[in-house]
Structure 1
């Protein structure tokens, strides 16, 4: 599945149900943001006193998590509006 350019929507739905995560979040995945979230989670759950540990991971996120949540919410709303528009057009054709 990782080698594919696109994944079918039904497959995404199954994955989102298993992960309990919105399909839109998977479709709009941002690797840099995910890396920061993972690094911050890892850093916050381990001993900060280790000098080797401190050199491996940067504890300063370069984004505001609340801004990212708002951004994701806005993208999800936009996608919902687009889907409603498409459905309305389909209904008008019939």
Structure 2
């Protein structure tokens, strides 16, 4: 089939962009608040509602136009340009937060949860001791 007669299969384009971003269907599903089966069905669909396309584009970190205009040839050409300009490092400026800060936030959250759990257990022990003393 020639490229001129290929349908504009949005689902396949989403699939290819997701794969190029090294993202699994499960990760995209989580970002969209759905399940992997829904992502699989979406990637097999030729068309997708504009609202959903906006959500998918945001989750993939690309524009809606990038999805609509995506082609493997253009992607290959894009990546080949990195050999021509050594100062262009793909993806290094995509991170908008410090991963170590996020890790420390998670550690603090876990610490607070552990303290709450410990307090609940202590309260339970006190209550049981009180019941034993009453008998």
Alignment TM class, shorter chain as reference: 0.3 to 0.5
The structure with the larger Rg is 2
